[in-house]
Amino acid sequence: MKIKEYAKTSKIPLKTLRWMERIKTISDPLLDNDLIGLKLLEKLWGMHDFLRPQLSQKNVKYRKTLIATCDLETKWERYAFSRFMNLKPDERLFMENLIAEIELTFRFRMSVFDIRKLYRVRKRAHRAKERQVLKELSEEHPEDMEMSNNALGKSA
């Protein structure tokens, strides 16, 4: 069975199966041993008890970054996100420069759709940075924060 055919009925995404083929964990077409291993992996795929120990080996910063970027499909999107997140408050990153940088680094010509994606990544990174700044401010000055509706001081 070919990897592409298997991916149609599997929980494991085609991209992951292709990666497994690239690192020579499985072959294309799939052998009997590959199918046995993939069936086991499918049973464990996405289970919290399987993911938790793997994630616990990573530090908190890595886990937060992973969560923030897990739905960005490509390496260049994750790269762009990290470029925006790592900017200092007074720094600017112009889109034309970033587009040229991505095209040079990842060796492809960005289409109109890719550039649109890049603008979405930038917007997402800006929102994440705003949330990060607000969180830092609230941690520095907790007395400035208003009490929530269910706070003890507001109960009758």
pLDDT at residue 20 is higher than 70: yes
What pLDDT shows up at residue 152?
58
Q: Which long-range contacts (CB under 8 A, 24 or more apart) does 132-136 make?
A: none
d(Cα 144, Cα 125) in Å, to the nearest integer?
26
Beta-carbon count within 10 A of 10 CB: 17
CA torsion through residues 6, 41, 21, 67, sign: positive
d(Cα 35, Cα 71) in Å, to the nearest integer?
27
d(Cα 32, Cα 25) in Å, to the nearest integer?
13
What pLDDT shows up at residue 121?
94
d(Cα 116, Cα 110) in Å, to the nearest integer?
10
Under 8 Å between Cβ of 66 and 107? no
What does the block give as tokens for 18?
């292709």
Once rounded to an integer, what is the mean pLDDT over residues 27-35?
92
pLDDT at residue 145 is higher than 60: no
Q: Which long-range contacts (CB under 8 A, 24 or more apart) does 148-153 make?
A: none
**Tens digit of each residue's pLDDT (9 = 90 or more) over 52-85:** 999 999 999 889 888 888 889 899 999 999 999 9
